[in-house]
Chain A
Amino acid sequence: MDLCVDPRSPVPPSRQLVEGLLGAVARGALGVGDQLPSVRSLAAAVVLNPNTVERAIRELQALGVAEGRPGAGVFVTPRGPALARRRRRAQTLADLRRALRAAVEAGHAPETLGRRVGRWLGPTLHPAGEDPRR
């Protein structure tokens, strides 16, 4: 599992950790029934106060993505991956919308932008490995 917390980010560390763990569940790095790392080992890995890590794990439980089993640990729920992916889809869509709005405000014509986005999507829809920035 690849988790990183950047202390220079404008996003508070607890938020970063929640998003990082959701990402791991969405990608399948943490699968259904997988146990989350212990608070202590996760705190050591991302160099964060264990209380902050505990809060992040509690939030994952509140979202229904993970559940605690007394005496055993915290595990990814059966509906965890779907919930995490849905959240991730909503989030990336919101990000895309924000970026497009900024581009329009910067003077890009909406039609040209639309065509461009379509063209960028080409390489990901078709196997040819074209540079998406072109």
Chain B
Amino acid sequence: MNEPAIRIDSLTVGYGRRAVLRDVDLEVPAGTTTVLLGRNGAGKTTLLKACLGLLRPSAGRVRVAGLAVEAAAARVRRLVGYVPDRPDAWPWMSPRDLLRFLGAHFAGPVVARGLALLERFEVPPNLAFRHLSRGQGMKAMLAAALAHDPRVLLLDEPFGGLDAVGREEVLVRVIDALGEAPRTVLLATHDLEVAVRVADAVAVVAAGRVTALEAAAPDAEPALTPDALKAALERGPVPFGGIPACARS
């Protein structure tokens, strides 16, 4: 594999003077899914926002699809689909309105593709967001994020606040989107079962650090089981000089 789709080097980023993440390295190879596992407030959203160019790093850099995010934030955002942790459209908006709004910002048949996705996801396109269930709302957000057929997806707790049925509904659609075309995904969650189902790789976010979960043996895959992930989550951050967040090739 050549240039990873997402590459984060020595990133320090936060809000004002407060650094939420310190000296973070992470690589997500093209066509793979990395799950960011961490508790609430660990810095998962901050990392995703840095990938979108919504936060200016105080040190380090982020490259998405080979583009430096700081220099080309607008271009990067056109290449990326982003799903926030709650349906953040205006309550009076319908999913169709949201697609029209997005259609003005993206080239290509965004509205038509988005409407087809809404139909596949079984979301009523003309009902205002305030009348949609949380699960329907999240599926609408996912459809909107996929409408321009992005190769990179940034998903911030898309299953948060959903019951088991809603979670499964959204998860099935995420899996469907992965099967439709090769996509690179960075998915923040604290849900171990979701992580087990979708991850090619897992990185634990804790105490301002991001630590890739390593396989027990070289060449082996990391053990994707809830127990292994829970242990990794509880181990927390690795002291500086510990396991690197990514292997440089």
Contact = CB atoms under 8 A, between A and B. Distances in A.
Interface of A: 5, 7-14, 39-40, 43-44, 47-52
Given A9-B225, A11-B225, A52-B200, A44 B193 contact: no
B153 to A, nearest CB: 13
Nearest to B173: A44
Contacts of B178: 43, 49-51
B227 A39 contact: no
A40 B181 CA distance: 10
Interface of B: 31-33, 168, 171-172, 175-176, 178-180, 192-194, 196-200, 221, 223-227
B165 to A, nearest CB: 13
Contacts of B33: 49, 51
Nearest to B183: A50
Contacts of B168: 47
Given A48-B198, A49-B197, 15 more contacts: A7-B194, A7-B197, A8-B226, A10-B227, A12-B224, A12-B225, A13-B196, A13-B197, A48-B175, A49-B178, A49-B198, A49-B199, A51-B31, A51-B33, A51-B178
A13 B224 contact: yes
Contact of B175 (A7, A14, A50): A50
19 contacts: A7-B193, A7-B226, A8-B193, A8-B226, A9-B225, A11-B225, A12-B196, A12-B221, A12-B224, A40-B176, A43-B175, A47-B171, A47-B197, A48-B175, A48-B198, A49-B197, A50-B178, A51-B178, A52-B200
Contacts of B172: 44, 47
Given A7-B226, A44-B172, A49-B33, A39 B197 contact: no
